[in-house]
Amino acid sequence: MCGIVGAVGINNPRDYAIEGLKMLEYRGYDSAGIGFLSDKINIFKDIGSPNHLDDILPSSFETELIIGHTRWATHGTPSKINSHPHLSCNRKIALVHNGVIDNANELRTFLLSQGYKFYSDTDTEVVVNLLEYFYLSSKDMHTSLTLLKDQLEGSYALAIINEDYPDSLFMLKKGSPLMIGKGKGFNLIASDASPMAKYTNEFIDLEDYDFGYISKKEIRIFDKNNNLVDRKPIVKDAESISHDLKGYPHYMLKEIEEIDEVVKRAISIYHEDNQYQFDSKLLKDLREADHVMFIGCGTSYHASLVGGRIFEICNNIPTTEYIASEWAFHPVIPGKKPFVILISQSGETADLIHCLKIIKEKNNVPTLLITNTPGSTLSRGVTYTVLLHAGVEVSVASTKAYAAQVALLALLSGALSKNEKMVVDLKDTIDVIDSIKNNLKQPIEQIAEEIKDHDNVFFLGRSFDYFLSLEASLKLKEISYIHSEAYPGGELKHGPIALISEGLPVIVFITDPTTASSMRSNIEEVKSRGAKVYVVATKSLSKKGDALIVDDYAHFLSGVAISSIAFYLAYFVSLKKGYNVDKPRNLAKSVTVE
């Protein structure tokens, strides 16, 4: 979850570190810190964001070697003492860490028996002292990193400074993302490419168990077998990894208003010259499958529900959708010839990495990753990868990536059945999205004003509208902290209707002709118990008094066509409550811990 930066030999290390950490705040912002080597290792860290760190850091300093960290707390509460970087007991080694060390307590007990003292509650302080323990015996960092790698259980991306190596920044990686930026006369390291894009366009994705160091002119990487390896850099253009707000006040608003372009891009990439452009081997494996299993977390799980239902209806393929964090502990792969689709915006989701490890133990189960991040940990382990091409999504609450996931799953379904109408239906959603952006933001903002002071909100829908309700409810929870629930309309009478009270806001989606009549009955049920109902309906299904009316579209594409209504609503509520829209409390963008 945390964000890491590091540099050796760069001309403006302070600017690189601070600007880089600001770009990585989406990975966590409980605390931030920087360590650099001059005559000794200097540490500046505190709770709060990199903006606060910028204030307490000296305005200038000279160093060849710097590391930085922005934290999402796992072991230990957000506090100055738990902030990174952490120093070893002899203050000769400092490191920053993204991940979780599963055997930290056992290692801490061992180090205590060796006379080590601990000042924080973090697993990271255990790591830096264990590294020092090995280094004091070996007097060699290569040997020490090899020994450290063999002792640590869990996930880690480490950037390390040792006073005895003033020209080298060391790294070690397993299960958490870490990249090298290849420069001219300098080299960089970071959790993703964005902090480095201003300085280079060549990046090296480290693989699990890679370790080694970077210096001004050298990159030395060793694999899990201690072999020196030559990891080839990949070139990424700056625009694809840019964090430019482009005049918007918040990333979330910018990303909502990019949904139409994201859908257009998906269509242009995956359907060209009246032909679907998916890997023929991927389509063959999917067509031969007798069961398709979807796995995701949070928003990606909600996209899985949509994709599974589309596959069943349009392709007559049985599907099952699982929450990754649940499936991993009770794994079942249905069917005699299954196919597994994993969905992860970052490609680094720890729960899915755990699931993929289990799946790979089953012979001959083909896997597909749908992700927004090329070269990610998950992409290196699956049979096939299909990219969303949604562009960087900075706001913690996912918006355009969700719409892209649903659009891509629809295109994949169309390719399986060679159904050209799927493309026509998707193109129709672009007009609906644009109409919402141009005509409905004000009425959505008015609804936000009316519900912002309520403690509870309900969302109702059936079938695909229910799946959208789940995503709408999640977004409202994430960034406004209002308790929100989503229910299928028919389930109200089986318990949840007991929660309806006078004035309770209930937001209802009605876009499916098959279920519209039933949903209208559900509306009367909650109205009769005092609920304040806001109906979102398509024109052909609308009635007088409905709050928001949109043009008709293929109802199974609600997750593309009208998801922006849900996202705008959450955005405006959060804004009116005075919260940080892009950085909601307790959350991080990339969930790299289980």
Catalytic residues: 2, 589
Tokens 């920087």 appear where?
34
- Asked whether the beta carbons of 56 and 80 are under 8 A apart, the reply is no
The amino acid at residue 248 is Y
Calculate the alpha carbon distances from 432 to 112, 268, 402, 463, 465 in Å: 63, 18, 17, 20, 16
Cα–Cα dist 346/401, whole Å? 10
Cα–Cα dist 460/473, whole Å? 10
Calculate the alpha carbon distances from 566 to 73, 398, 559 in Å: 29, 12, 10
Torsions phi, psi for 489 (to 5 deg) = -50, -40
Torsion of CA 470, 473, 474, 477, to 10 degrees: -160
- Asked whether the beta carbons of 189 and 7 are under 8 A apart, the reply is yes
Quick one: tokens of 32? 């931030």
Cα–Cα dist 93/101, whole Å? 19
Buried b (16+ CB within 10 A) or exposed e, 505-541: bbbbbbbbeebbeebbebbeebeebebbbbbbbbeeb
Q: Is 188 helix (H, G, I), strand (E, B) or coil?
A: strand
CA 360, 363, 368, 373 dihedral sign is positive
Cα–Cα dist 305/406, whole Å? 9
For the chain, the first-to-last Cα distance in angstroms comes to 10
Cα–Cα dist 453/163, whole Å? 54
Q: Running DSSP on this structure, what letter comes out for residue 513?
A: T
Buried b (16+ CB within 10 A) or exposed e, 74-99: bbbebeeebbbbbbbbeebbbbbbbb
CB atoms within 10 A of CB 581: 22
Farthest CA pair distance, the chain: 79
The amino acid at residue 160 is I
Cα–Cα dist 358/370, whole Å? 18
Q: Residue 419 class from Cβ within 10 Å (0-12 exposed, 13-18 middle, 19+ buried)?
A: middle
Pairing of strands 65-71, 3-8: antiparallel
The secondary structure element, H or E, covering residue 535 is strand 532-538
Extended strands (E) in 104-201: 154-162, 169-174, 179-182, 187-190
